Structure 1
């Protein structure tokens, strides 16, 4: 392929130098990294939330803290639709800048009255709405700026930033501890503003293209909708993917949201040790995304279900460890992170499960639709912590949900062999 052919599929910044293009990517990646990090704020602030006022905390119950961060997850669903519509009209660059600034603003709101449960809930819900606008603007912007041969790798790089954010957050929490919770919050507030400024300066503008495409779509009257997508067998496939994603979010959140709190308040570890153990989960997950992705490309999209089943085993082992098993906690945390990487190939899998014309809709709804389930399930699960088993009961429920998700996955169709057959048929 000639150099000219390689650049013909670049939509934005065709006259950009290679260096300028990578700076633009870094600008977007900076916002995406702290978008990922924002989901972890609850994990690090939660110990302070449940401490009594005498201990320097807010005096919230565990269930209240789960509700606060569950509504944030739920907010991403309407946010996906809202900011997708905005991007279609004004462009992805301007929308991403708006989203980044609103992430900073909505994350700052609870700082005004940190002991107010109501303010925390309202702020985290609105923050969730804003966070819902990141994926649908950042990913397409990167695709528009780079040739086809780089797009898959760069999309995978952005996805892997979640694991890097987990590692970064664990190290930061370990260094700052509970006493510096405000500083932890500001690390989620200031960087998105920097990312917004960099995006404004370095990322090429797509507003003219967006307006032209929107006008053409309006003239043609062609509608690709969720109602038309969920018909016949695709209704059941769609429900299956939402249940699978719901099981993933519920089990993962029930465990991860309480991991550092369990280690500090239940096992008696220091914040530094708990944060380091949590970081190992992120390291394992980073590797897991890559390995399970390679496995799914070679052996099938359903094979990573093994990882979901083994996640249940890893959480069970976690509950059997004690205060003297620090090394084992590190190992199991890394192993669990690796297994949880089973969701890495879902972007491809969820897209392949539906007809090609619905690709703009299928993966997003299949993935984020699961947040509807976790929004209600995670706070309900937190309520069992008040019983005799305490937080261990939450982990046992997470184990059951991981197993249930594996069963749902078993009944969904395989897509890899189907796609291979389609390619062979096309070539003939």
Structure 2
């Protein structure tokens, strides 16, 4: 079965199902933050205990990105995706029966493994089935569900948390297991690779060979900069808006929805740019936009202007996140694109998401919360510089051709 100018005949099925899969991944990742105030009261947690729940999740995502990258390259990308969905769906549902902080922390770590493991296989599947001409837009559409997951988690918290309770929200999110079954039924088997691309076993050593190691390190640094900057800002913006800018909680929630809405649009805007001017240039533009807009957001004096800066800031957040999907998948050779992408994205996410929010909090004690958040722009600038030294992928000699499975 030959591929068309746009990709394989199954590309739309792959796109739709990876979209749904990543929506659940995003929802599962963010539902903890929405339920956290109620969990603290219900289980009698300290703020330190609550923070460790988030840290356990992010450590799990880093481990999952490494583990399921290996699974994807040796057992199939479709298989790895299905296992991830069912794995984190089961452990998310199990939260319904938790009675202690220790149980919840173990479950969040186990959920994190599946959550982090999903990213590499699904961006590789998009790259396998979509032609380079449309790949960034396809990956951007699929990954835009990170913003939708944030909006959905916020709406679930606002309209259902009080009536259903936090355990039931986790149980509803655990229906990811059903998506895993549907994914197995609907998505075709992995495309058949040319014989020369096959190896008895693909190990992590491939990521650190002399011709690949610079790509692995560069992509991981870029991911750490984006993740660190994003989580450093998003973890503290609600507190900044309430305690420093004097907004009430309801108005603060509106600001958060506006930022996520801007991010959703950013996935598409920067993906369109990437398919026309190149992945590298579009990524640098998005990183530089982050570098400029974050200090403006925290230091602008007018509340109305602050509101309208929200979606502009979200625009570039979404731009970088979306472009990682196509850029990382193209950066690594075809036979290790899931493993390389998953390793760089999730190790970067683990480093950035665990370290930066704490650093911002430390800076806030001595220089103020606005200053602490504003310093995240340094990370975005380092991300732009890192990508500057990395190769363009859009117009280089194309991928080895895959033959779709019958």
Superposed displacement of residue 198, structure 1: 3.6
Structure 2 Cα separation of the partners of residues 311 and 148 of structure 1? 26
Match of 2:151 among 164, 167, 172: 167
Structure 2 Cα separation of the partners of residues 394 and 57 of structure 1? 31
Partner residue in 2 for 1:245: 223
SS at match of 1:331: helix
Match of 1:41 among 31, 46, 54: 31
Structure 2 Cα separation of the partners of residues 115 and 320 of structure 1? 41
Superposed displacement of residue 317, structure 1: 2.9
Partner residue in 1 for 2:401: none
* Correspondence list, 1:144-183, <5 A: 154-176=138-160, 181-182=166-167
Superposed displacement of residue 248, structure 1: 0.8
TM-score (norm 2): 0.77
Structure 2 Cα separation of the partners of residues 404 and 151 of structure 1? 26
Work out whether residues 295 and 304 of structure 1, in 8 Å CA contact, stay in contact via their aligned partners in 2.
no
Structure 1: unaligned runs, 5 residues or longer: 13-20, 424-428
TM-score (norm 1): 0.74
Structure 1 Cα separation of the partners of residues 73 and 335 of structure 2? 18
Structure 1 Cα separation of the partners of residues 160 and 248 of structure 2? 11
* Correspondence list, 1:80-95, <5 A: 80-86=65-71, 95=80
Q: Deviations over 1:326-368 (max 9, x none)?
A: x434312211111113322233333444556654543333322
Superposed displacement of residue 39, structure 1: 2.0
Q: Deviations over 1:21-76 (max 9, x none)?
A: 977865554332111112222332344456xx4xx784422x54443223322322
The structure with the larger Rg is 1
Partner residue in 1 for 2:404: none
Q: Deviations over 1:81-108 (max 9, x none)?
A: 4345555676655554443233233224
Partner residue in 2 for 1:339: 316
- The structure whose RCO (Cα within 8 Å, separation 6+) is larger is 2
Structure 1 Cα separation of the partners of residues 2 and 377 of structure 2? 53
Match of 1:72 among 57, 73, 77: 57
Superposed displacement of residue 156, structure 1: 3.4
Structure 1 Cα separation of the partners of residues 15 and 270 of structure 2? 25
Q: Deviations over 1:287-324 (max 9, x none)?
A: 212222232333341343232233233222332367x8
Match of 2:186 among 200, 203, 208: 203
Work out whether residues 77 and 121 of structure 2, in 8 Å CA contact, stay in contact via their aligned partners in 1.
yes
| 150-159 vs 359-368, greater mean Cα deviation | 150-159
Structure 2 Cα separation of the partners of residues 234 and 141 of structure 1? 21
* Correspondence list, 1:227-242, <5 A: 227-232=205-210, 234-242=212-220
Work out whether residues 70 and 379 of structure 1, in 8 Å CA contact, stay in contact via their aligned partners in 2.
no
Work out whether residues 127 and 326 of structure 2, in 8 Å CA contact, stay in contact via their aligned partners in 1.
no
Partner residue in 2 for 1:15: none
Structure 2 Cα separation of the partners of residues 266 and 64 of structure 1? 25
Partner residue in 2 for 1:16: none
* Correspondence list, 1:174-323, <5 A: 174-176=158-160, 181-182=166-167, 184-190=169-175, 192-199=176-183, 202-203=185-186, 206=189, 221=199, 224-232=202-210, 234-264=212-242, 267-300=245-278, 301-320=280-299
Over 3 Å counting, the alpha-carbon distance change for 1:228 and 1:172 in structure 2 is closer
Partner residue in 1 for 2:111: 127
SS at match of 1:345: helix
Work out whether residues 74 and 128 of structure 1, in 8 Å CA contact, stay in contact via their aligned partners in 2.
yes
Over 3 Å counting, the alpha-carbon distance change for 1:241 and 1:166 in structure 2 is same
Structure 2 Cα separation of the partners of residues 388 and 48 of structure 1? 30
1:102 equivalenced with 2:87 (yes/no): yes
Partner residue in 1 for 2:402: none
Query: Over the residues paired in the alignment, what is the CA RMSD in angstroms?
Result: 4.2
